[in-house]
Structure 1
């Protein structure tokens, strides 16, 4: 009588049940064609060009902000500081208009982003539910506003009639909701959160508001991070609304102050002739330093939402 090797049979059965791996997962190198190599080479060249286009001006600005006024005005600074000094940052951080504008920009960015996220979720979540009556018509109306708008003058008249001119609300409310962000949120709620989650919450007796707060929003962190980053960048870089609606210098954001430095050459007034000549001498240095100060907050904030932003890029691409 032949003996049966039980362990061998179990091992063989497990091998038959294992899914077959594709060659890439086994580490097998797939042979690239000539066309593939040409495409990869062209992609690397193109990406390198894009990187240089973005990186070199940034290096020039940073190097100029750390160089002496004489080196900057004579054009001797390229991508490395010449006669390193922090005079530009001392002048920028000692300028009341720049500090006030920076504080206003921080306030507008934080408050505006919170208002925009709340409004976007409040619009997108109901429109993502199939139970909402007339949701297709409402969605079409929302998309229509992205394609057609009344223009700057009607919007200015609306802001004026509401009494928002020369108030902080003029920077927070008129452009609080972005249609593109609403569409992204609708697609996320429809495709990334299974219907079974809603059904289970409803069986537990949860209301729609409780489902949104305790179930949907915790699962929508990638969406919230992407939308928050979009709104924050838009709000931080916004200066046209301030140019239209704000006349009070105490309410103007940093970008409007920076516009005055770059476009109008406004480096401040007052003081004797010697003080004015000194300000003119460091005018270019002050511009570069202010540009760096205006850029740093977004560079600092991005790493904290980068992981969610990477996930959010594929919002709605894969269902389930």
Structure 2
């Protein structure tokens, strides 16, 4: 097994990770186009870290134009084994207050028009997404967030909406009451789907900034209010990352949640029928099974 290599995708308000040794920004070429930005790599207490600002430095990209496939491919291509997503979210629950962190474990995907898979015509695969995050990595993130001073909620359902506008009041009530979701954001899908296809352990930390538009005592979402909370959340997120090296074992064992074996038996296209150009694009995310690994088609 490779040594642990922690990747961090930073959302709104988090565009850098200070304090890395041997830090350098590097561009990683992918067959899926340009990633959101260069990737910052370095060492933190001896642990290899790779940081990618999801929206690019300066927040250039909207949720709908983030190159999700390129981002996940680039991180997998340089060797990332464990990926932590940090993102700003709204809350659908009274007890999930602005400033709180939620370690997400489920998603409802209401996005549209985004590239949701690395696979398709020429190489078809179906991975399980019943449990879309890595519980092991999520537990470590919760512990690190608590050490960082955040009030942490372990478990929650994230409603992924297309955006870039915030919800109407009717949508907010629907997703809260009928769907039973806990937080709302715009970026964790298809990111979580793609991480699973790439066999990378994925954990999502939702940083609450507001109550969306359902809460009668808080009114509509105001960007100015969100920005004030974002600053404090970003500081706690930076401390969360700094606390991860003490928790993530350097010698990486097979994942208890089987995230690193998600493609076992998932690729259905027979080897002789696979399109060489398609499989070439999959060299980083699916090389383990496309080059003699255990990923054989189901009968």
Per the normalisation by structure 1, the TM-score is 0.25
TM-score of the superposed pair, with normalisation by structure 2: 0.26
Which has a greater percent of helix? 1
Determine which structure has more spread, i.e. the larger CA radius of gyration: 1
